[in-house]
Every structure is written in C-alpha cells, then in structure tokens.
A and B are shown apart, each in its own frame.
Chain A
C-alpha cells in the first residue's frame, strides 16, 4: 500500500516540474531522456522525434502533477516510459509505419490509468494550438493588451499609459474590442460542447 506514495526524489522532481523549475527540468532530462531516446531511435524515429516526444511526455506528467490530490501509482520512471511509449505508438500509427516491436514492451502496470490522461492531453494540446493561432491572427497591440490585463493583472490605468490611450475608459473599450475579436477567432475553430 505504501507504493501509492512517491519516493522523495520523484516527489521533488514533480514539484519542481509543476513550478516550471529549470533545475528539475534539467534533471528530468538527465534521468529519463536517454530512455526515451533509446525507445524512439530503436523504433523508426530520430533524435528530433525523441526531443518532441519527451516534451510531450513531460507535459502529460505536468498536467498530472497539477491535479488535486495527485497520486502516481507507479514509479516515475515506469510512468514516463508508459506515457512515452503510448504517445510514440500513436505517432507511428499516424505515419503508417509498423507498430513498435511488441516483445520490447511487456509488463506495463500503468496501462490501465493511461487513456484518460492522454485524452485530456490531446484536448489541451488542441486548445493550445487553436489559441496560438488565434493570438497570432489577433496581432498587436491586442495580444499584449489582453495578456497584460488578464494574465499580468495590470490595471486599466497602466495599460492606457503603456499603449498610449488617452483615458482608462478608452483602453477599456479597446480591450473589449480585442477580446471580442479573440473570441471570434478562437471559438470559430474551437467548437467544444456547450457546458451551459
């Protein structure tokens, strides 16, 4: 029952990852990238593929580490390997190549709790792409204005000064127009099922 809880080292790594700490990211590369690199280059992939795959794997782990009451039911290494393998398999299927040599992948205990993680991940990645696209279409100064207000929590007064609007009210109107454009760009491509 005690292996439901992570060992000290894994736990620190995950905490670092959830805080975007460079030190932890580097350590994750040192400890686990060779494993993923090996998996990819032995299965029709290049080092660049491995780089992309590892990034994706880390993001799956990141999302997992941010869940409330998050518990990993396997060693970090086992979990990362299982995620990487699953993602790579998908990638290969998409490219219509031969699937991974099955003999190489036995004894995967984390298999059962995988699909949900990856499903959420794909949705999130899709949202990320659509938002990236929407923001680049939106262009400046709208993009910075919205980010300053909603993410950097700048006041309308500060925003008016930064972008050269005569009054905070003008800045507010501008923000409203920018937001409406962003909504149109984003929701045109992102048709999520309505929640209300």
Chain B
C-alpha cells in the first residue's frame, strides 16, 4: 500500500505539471515500461478529471437554477406592473475555476493517449522507417525554403521585376481584424491577403508600417470580421530574463508550426537593444509570429535569424509593439487592442496553443 500511495503522489505531481522536464520524461518512460503504473496513472487521471468536472458542473447547475428563480421573480414583477430594477440576485462566493486543474489533466490525458498509440504500433522497424522518411521530407522542406529565402533577397535587390509570392506570419492585435506582422514581410506588396488557421483567405490593407523597427499593422477589409476576445496580452516592460522559456507559432509551411526555445540574449543582432536573441528553431515564414512566454504574454515579434547558424533568431521587443499601437489611427478602435485580461496563465501549453491558433495568420503578399 505504501508503494501505491507514493506512486499516486508522484502521479499527482505529474498531472499537475509540477515536474521539471527531465523528471517528467523519466516518469513517462517509466510508465511506458510498466503496465501497472500505467493503469494506476490512467485511473488517477480519470478519477481526478471526473471529480473536477463534477464540481464545475454542480456549480454551474446551481447558478442556472438561481438564474431561473431570478427570471421568475422579474417576470412576476413585470406582470404586477412594477417597472423598477429588480433586486440584484444574492451575491455568491466568486466562482473559483477548477479549470487549470482540468487543463493539467488534459495534458496528462494527451500523454496517455500518445502512449497507447506508441504501444499499439508493435512493429518497431516499421515505426523507425516511417520517422526516417518524415525527417528526410522535413530536410527537403528546409532546403527549399532556404533557397526561396535567397531568391527573395535577390528579388528585393533587383526590384519587383518578377511577380512573386512571399509569405510570413501575423497575429491578431484586436478581435476586429487588426494584425501585427513585420515590415519586411510586406515590402513591395501590391496586395496582401491573410489566411486563418481554418484556411479562410481574407484581403487586408496595410494601415501602418515602420521599416526601421521592422513592424507593420494590417487590417482585414471585411469590417464584420470578428474573433473571440484576445486570450493573450502584451508585456509592457522589456524585461524578459535570460533563459526564460518562450515559444512561437508561425507559418514556415502552409500549416501552422509550433517552435519552442528560450531567450539567449537581451540584445539582438550586433547588439541591437531593440531586440532579443532567441534560441528557437525558426525558418523563413516565421517572420511576424508572436514570441510568447509561459504565461501567454507576448514578449516580442519574431523577425529574423542569423543565417546560416541554427537556432539563433531575433525578435523585436514588445515595448516597440506597444508604441506602434499608439501610432496607428484612432479609427481602428484602439480600445479593443490587447486588453488586460490574460486567460492563459493557468492553461497548459497544449491548451494555450489550441486557443492561439485562430489568432495567428498566414500573411500572403503578391507583387
């Protein structure tokens, strides 16, 4: 019994995301090899998620019941011809969302599912073979995009002689269709289109461009375009610490790609104090993507990398994004931009990324 008790304690720490990377990997590997451990972990995840779900739903049901009572009261009063404001409903204890616990559980479930997936593919050789192919295809892809980067530079020097197509990334600055990207992404653009994660293509106009800071703002032309409120906010101070973990989402391909890394220097290329140096895998097309910290705050915007070295990228610091927001015309509803409320803090990385995707755009430039 003592053993199981200890294991459950460890499993709880795993589920709550309290393990450091190394310990987590070790734990996962161990569960991978140990059927009993796997079974207990799986049960623990299920009982805890059901418990959290039950508490959440019970709270919601109670509140729905009270809303019904309040509605009934109001109806009755209206019937009597009383038009003044009804009593405000009884103040309740503020609801403490159990969501972040559930979020951790979701990540753990994802692991268990992956695990069973791996276990199902018994044919080890086949498995090896297929990942080899995938890797090769990725290398091909990188080669191609590196070539196209060279082409791009060549073209921009000789002017827009050959009509071509360029691509970059952008992210939402408001839920009304304002999008931040890099100025270099839209250089020489005749027309700009953005593509959503759902594959919807929308025409956009350049409303602001600062080649010096390498920042630009696009506006989706369709005025009825709306997203849910932004789940992230901008970090006001440029005080990201060395070694701080960051990630980005972008379109180095037609599909959205996730990249993880850390701040490797507080200054950018050749000591540029406007940028961070980031150790993160990026490729052409990642330009204009947000650099996000663990709490879902935007620290900067990915602008380029030091070729040909791997994993050295640069990102313009968020304070420049903020001052850019002050420079764009008022008519674009600045109040809607990057509101204070950050709903990411307690979400797992996987859930953050899921939530983020509708806010990240593929920017397509035609000239």
Which residues on A are within 8 Å of B, measured CB to CB? 1-8, 11, 15, 19-20, 22, 25-26, 28-30, 33, 51, 54-55, 58-59, 62, 68-71, 124, 127-128, 131-132, 135, 146-147, 150-153, 172-173, 176, 179, 182-183, 186-187, 190, 192, 194-196
Is there an interface contact between B98 and A5, defined as CB atoms closer than 8 Å?
A: no
Is there an interface contact between B358 and A69, defined as CB atoms closer than 8 Å?
A: yes
Which of B50, B63, B116, B355 has a CB less than 8 Å from the CB of A131?
A: B50
Which of B53, B67, B116, B227 has a CB less than 8 Å from the CB of A196?
A: B116
Is there an interface contact between A69 and B354, defined as CB atoms closer than 8 Å?
A: yes
Complex Cα gap A3–B198 (Å): 14
Which of B51, B89, B92, B354 has a CB less than 8 Å from the CB of A151?
A: B51
- Contact residues, B47-63 vs A (CB, 8 A): 47-48, 50-55, 57-61, 63
- Interface size grouping (class) on chain B: 35 or more
Is there an interface contact between B112 and A69, defined as CB atoms closer than 8 Å?
A: no
Which of B52, B70, B119, B227 has a CB less than 8 Å from the CB of A5?
A: B227
Is there an interface contact between B97 and A19, defined as CB atoms closer than 8 Å?
A: yes
Is there an interface contact between A196 and B115, defined as CB atoms closer than 8 Å?
A: yes
CB neighbours of A29 from chain B (8 A): 67-68, 70-71
Distance to closest chain A CB from B295 (angstroms):
18
Q: State whether the Cβ of B155 lies closer than 8 Å to any Cβ in chain A.
A: no
Is there an interface contact between A131 and B42, defined as CB atoms closer than 8 Å?
A: no
Is there an interface contact between A5 and B47, defined as CB atoms closer than 8 Å?
A: no
Complex Cα gap A190–B97 (Å): 25
- 10 further A-B contacts with Cβ under 8 Å, apart from A22-B66, A135-B54, are A2-B226, A11-B226, A20-B60, A22-B70, A26-B71, A69-B354, A71-B198, A151-B101, A176-B1, A176-B4
Complex Cα gap A28–B66 (Å): 13
Complex Cα gap A4–B52 (Å): 31
CB neighbours of A68 from chain B (8 A): 351, 354-355
- A195-B116 contact given A20-B95, A25-B64, CB 8 Å threshold: yes
Is there an interface contact between A8 and B57, defined as CB atoms closer than 8 Å?
A: no
Name the prevailing secondary structure of the A interface residues. Answer: helix
Which residues on B are within 8 Å of A, measured CB to CB? 1, 4-5, 8-9, 38-39, 41-43, 46-48, 50-55, 57-61, 63-68, 70-71, 74, 89, 92, 95-98, 101, 109, 112-113, 115-116, 119, 197-198, 200, 202, 222, 224-229, 351, 354-355, 357-358
Complex Cα gap A192–B43 (Å): 11
Distance to closest chain B CB from A62 (angstroms):
6
Is there an interface contact between B92 and A128, defined as CB atoms closer than 8 Å?
A: no
- A196-B39 contact given A11-B228, A20-B95, CB 8 Å threshold: yes
Which of A8, A28, A192, A194 has a CB less than 8 Å from the CB of B226?
A: A8
Which of A1, A3, A25, A179 has a CB less than 8 Å from the CB of B67?
A: A25
CB neighbours of B67 from chain A (8 A): 22, 25-26, 28-29
CB neighbours of A26 from chain B (8 A): 67, 70-71, 89
